[in-house]
Structure 1
Amino acid sequence: MQFIVNIDVKEIGKAISFYESGLGLQLIRRLFGGMVAEMGGGPASIYLIEQPDASVAAPDTSLQRDYKRHWTPVHLDFIVEDIDSAVEQVVSVGAVQEGVIKTFDWGMLATMSDPFGNGFCLLAFAEGGYDHIE
């Protein structure tokens, strides 16, 4: 099975810059008149989709997109080698670090949000990673 990931953003150019400079993804191509950017560099393509603030988020609902920090039950985890450097890099291009970096038996975790309010985590696995979880 293959899958893709879609992330709504308010400004496509700013989003491309953030995901390239902050997380090392690469722009593959622009689609739909430039309003969608296909990003590569990981095991699944990530599509950044420009959607206006306050636009309808789902058909037949009154839900509206909001680019302030928000919670969603689905988020991305980016696996990194050096969590301190990765946090510094993404913060330098607009991410917000939410709390301190936490250490677990399996590795380290930094909870973040991108400039569009989407939450994501940076993970640095210790040797054996999740095999340390009982």
Structure 2
Amino acid sequence: MKLLVNIDVDNLEKAIDFYAASFGLTVGRRFGASGVEMMGSSAPIYLLLKAEGTQAASATAQCRSYDRHWTPVHLDFVVDDIESAVQKAVSAGARLEEAVATHKWGRLALMADPFGNGFCLVQFLGRGYDEIAQ
């Protein structure tokens, strides 16, 4: 199985700039004016232009909003130096939502991109999640 990551945005060029500046991703392919493939992570990330206020899916009455929103699915970007990664993301337009926290397994920064999507920056310490695995 192959994993693809799709992120809805309301401004494709702004999203390209953000994900390139924050994570060093590069444009792989463009799909007309409504999508772009970003390369440089372990899975391709597709930025999809979707207008604010449009219906998210026919099975729901929810409409897209690019204010900060919560979803149980989010992205974690594993980094080597969390402080510099936070600074780079904030400089590109992200919001740090809580101070960096240190856990037995590593360090965690809770963030939001300019489109309201939550993501985390993770810096593993020691054996990473194996530090707490049973």
TM-score grouping bracket, smaller chain normalisation = over 0.9
Q: CA deviation at 1:29?
A: 1.1
Report whether the alignment pairs 1:92 with 2:91.
Answer: yes
Runs of 4+ deviating beyond 2 Å = none
**1:53 matched residue in structure 2:** 52
What is the TM-score when the length of structure 2 is the normalising length?
0.96
Structure 1: stretches of 5+ with no match in the other structure: none
**1:69 matched residue in structure 2:** 68
Instruction: Determine the C-alpha separation between the residues in 2 that align with 1:40 and 1:8.
Output: 16
**2:121 matched residue in structure 1:** 122
Q: CA deviation at 1:127?
A: 1.9
Q: Which sits farther off after the overlay, 60-69 or 74-83?
A: 60-69
Q: Which sits farther off after the overlay, 56-65 or 16-25?
A: 56-65
Report whether the alignment pairs 1:133 with 2:125.
Answer: no
Structure 2: stretches of 5+ with no match in the other structure: none
Q: CA deviation at 1:128?
A: 0.7
> Equivalent residue of 1:53, what SS?
coil
| Matched residue count | 133
What is the TM-score when the length of structure 1 is the normalising length?
0.96
> Equivalent residue of 2:23, what SS?
coil
RMSD: 0.8
Instruction: Determine the C-alpha separation between the residues in 1 that align with 2:61 and 2:78.
Output: 35
Deviations 1:86-105 (A, max 9, x none): 00000001000001100001
Q: CA deviation at 1:60?
A: 3.7
Q: CA deviation at 1:34?
A: 2.2
Instruction: Determine the C-alpha separation between the residues in 1 that align with 2:60 and 2:74.
Output: 22
> Equivalent residue of 1:22, what SS?
helix
Q: Percent identity?
A: 52
> Equivalent residue of 2:115, what SS?
coil
**2:20 matched residue in structure 1:** 20
Instruction: Determine the C-alpha separation between the residues in 1 that align with 2:41 and 2:96.
Output: 22
